[in-house]
Structure 1
Amino acid sequence: MEFRADAVALARSSGRPVAQVAKELGVNHETLRTWVRKTEEAERPGAAAKDAPSWRNRWRGSAPARAARVAGDARLAGRIRGVHAASGGVYGSPRVHAELREAGTMVNRKRVERVMREHGIVGRHQRRRYRTTVPARAAAVPDLLRRDFSIGRADERWCGDATYLPVAGRWMFLATVIDIGTRRVMGYSMAEHMRGGRDTPVDHHPGPPGGLYHVRQRETP
């Protein structure tokens, strides 16, 4: 109700078209016109006789302050959209609030939350996390590499691993084989699952001839 009253006050006091004010506030212009019309009807003599005159006088007297608050929220919403867009649509209200304060905009965190909620600005929620390395059922294999990933000669030590990436709104699993000595990618494969198969880089690159191929143990789902 507070937002509605402030929006009406801004539309009536700004001197600008209702459609323009509605666009700035992020509401439908017909909805704002209806709010304005109902407010004007309620202010007509005899339309709200049951309302105390003192309440009406206070509400009318606070119209400039409400209009200023709505205008300030509209400006803040523009800054929030800029921060939100720069983050790729990821930031929610806590991070947006921190970025605004760092940029010199001193604003209350709850106000940022309210403005984002009223204008439909939503951060990207953290999606499900996957475990790409889990204890294997087979017997443990000695770590011959001894966690030594320093650069050395080519085709002496290879390393295989897997991770997951968000691609076009879904998770894709990426498996790679890298030459530790040169940091060169020997092969890679992407799929929507973590199951092994003929198309994995391990099948195409069984290991360096006479060298060491290091892969973290994992279960196959």
Structure 2
Amino acid sequence: MEQLRSLIQNLCNTDEEWSSIVQKYIKDHTEPQNKDVLKAFDDFMECVCEKYKICPADLENKLIEWLGEDAEWIFKLIKDTLYAYIELQEYRQLANKNEEKAKQLLKYIFDNAIIRYDPEFHLQYKKWRFNSPKQLLRIASIFRGLTEYYIERRYTTHAIKKDLLKETGISDTVCDYYIEIYEQNYTTMQLNYVVMQMREEREKDGCR
């Protein structure tokens, strides 16, 4: 935690009002005069996000001890930043026990919730040893959201792998399998995305 303490001290040294400056930037994207504050905060966030993955409770206690009231909004920001990672906890547990089963689930999600859609796909949750359909829905929602993000930005496979490893914490092998399925179905998914965008535009026009 010494690294974290040092980064907090660096924030204070950069600007004593760093908390209000960063919160204002997050709220309305107003660029601060002292842009070094944002760089110092980015370094701090990178550190706390990695420590959250190891032990959230210890991190929260240290933030409360060192930052007082500021710990609350920062901890919320950490959880928002790591949303995909947190929501995929059950999937990582599955992959740690049985990597092949995790690959099969990923293929199932692509076939039934991303490339095509089965409204009842989540009812197969017991097959994947989940306790409720909500767990399967959450996992599918994360992978669907990430896939749409990559399609929209036309990410290369290198960029996808780098982001996927960071956002999800899944293994290198499972990440490679995701990319394999993604590449095999890229054209279809791209067309699906274009159709979806056109439908949304028509719906907007119909509401005017």
Instruction: Sort the TM-score into its range (normalised by shorter chain).
Output: under 0.3
More strand by share: 1
Q: TM-score, normalised by structure 1?
A: 0.24
Q: TM-score, normalised by structure 2?
A: 0.25
More helix by share: 2
